[in-house]
Amino acid sequence: IVLTQSPGTLSLSPGATAALSCRASQGVSVSNLNWYQQKPGQAPRLLIYGTSTRATGIPDRFSGSGSGTDFTLIIRGLEPEDSALYYCQQYGNSPLFSFGPGTKVEIK
């Protein structure tokens, strides 16, 4: 399975809303689609699992939705600290885990 993310880079102002897309080459169960955030110099951290459930400590500005082959991460009220790489990841198809190439979010 191949995950494609768009756009490659998103440049937005503080307070704006970001919409990040993740498309799968074949259907993914909603239970098996996760999102991660990676800030420079850090390991990725879990943001959203099961398409729409926020991980512990993740603010409600982050939300996920989707089904089948199309999934979306929405970040509302962008803050400078949201500047990061965002990856979608699927579980269950071969290989068991695979990641999209990432979307870079820049806050300017």
Instruction: Please identify which residue in 13, 60, 94, 108 interacts with another protein, judged by CB under 8 A.
Output: 94
Buried b (16+ CB within 10 A) or exposed e, 35-72: bbbbeeeeebeebbbebbebeeebeeebebebeeeebb
Q: Can residue 98 be called a binding residue for another protein (CB under 8 A)?
A: yes
Token code pair at residue 102: 């990432």
Q: Can residue 31 be called a binding residue for another protein (CB under 8 A)?
A: yes
Q: Which of residues 39-68 bind another protein (CB under 8 A)?
A: 42-46, 49-50, 53, 55
Q: Can residue 103 be called a binding residue for another protein (CB under 8 A)?
A: no
Nearest approach in angstroms of CB 76 to another protein is: 22
**Quick check: 107 and 82 in contact, CB under 8 A?**
yes
